[in-house]
Structures are given as C-alpha cells and as structure tokens.
C-alpha cells in the first residue's frame, strides 16, 4: 500500500515540477495524472498496491466537492448578478456537447459500417 501511495505522490510531484518550470499554465496535478496514465499504459497494467490506494481514495471522493460548495456559497452575490450569463453558458455548452457527440457517433458508426461491408 505504501508503494502505491509513493507512486501517486511521485507523479504529482513530477507534475508540480514540470508545471513550475516548463508549463506554468497547466496545473501540476493534471500533468502528474497524465504522466501516471502514460506510465500505466507503458507498463500495461496497474499493480495491486496502486489499485488498493486508488480504491481507498475513490471511497472519499465526495469530500472533494465540499470546497467547491463553500466557494459557491461564498460567491453567491456574484453568481446571482451574472445568473443569466451563467445559465446561458451552461445550456449552450450542454447543447454543443450533445450535438458534437451525436456528430462524432454518426461519423464513427458510418465508418464502422464501411469497414464491415
């Protein structure tokens, strides 16, 4: 279990270093996660210790939403002032996402039909 935790912390630290010195616009944990995924793909699997730590973290994933909820309450006056713009952006992005997904699915299914024939 300790080696799984060390692996996660190692990749997050590498991500922080890369973010600090090479890619300051990207968050370190995101870079670390990408590096971890690349490492796991190269190794073609997840070892038992890393899987156990990841399962343990995922049980408490809901706690990560508490700071976001506090932020929403903290900025409630600004959210109320810009409610129309926020709702418009959310609805527009949902519609664009659904439309894009439908177009990609149609394209891929047509391509798959060509391969099957």
Domain range annotation of the chain:
1-59, 65-117
- The residue-averaged pLDDT of 43-53 equals 84
What pLDDT, on the 0 to 100 scale, is given for residue 102? 95
Q: Give 79's contacts (C-beta < 8 A, 6+ positions apart).
A: 72, 86
What pLDDT, on the 0 to 100 scale, is given for residue 56? 84
Read off the pTM.
0.55
- Assess whether pLDDT exceeds 80 at residue 117: no
What pLDDT, on the 0 to 100 scale, is given for residue 98? 97
**Best CA proximity match to 39, nearest among 18, 10, 17:** 10
- The residue-averaged pLDDT of 16-29 equals 88
């Amino acid at each position: 279990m300790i080696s799984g935790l060390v692996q996660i912390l190692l990749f997050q630290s590498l991500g922080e270093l890369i973010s600090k010195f090479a890619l300051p616009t990207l968050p370190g944990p995101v870079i670390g996660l990408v590096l971890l995924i690349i490492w796991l793909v190269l190794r073609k699997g997840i070892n038992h210790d890393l899987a156990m730590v990841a399962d343990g973290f995922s049980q408490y994933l809901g706690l990560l939403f508490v700071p976001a909820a506090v932020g929403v309450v903290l900025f409630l006056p600004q959210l109320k002032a810009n409610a129309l713009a926020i709702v418009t952006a959310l609805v527009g992005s949902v519609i664009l996402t659904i439309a894009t997904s439908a177009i990609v699915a149609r394209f891929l299914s047509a391509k798959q039909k060509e391969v099957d024939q």
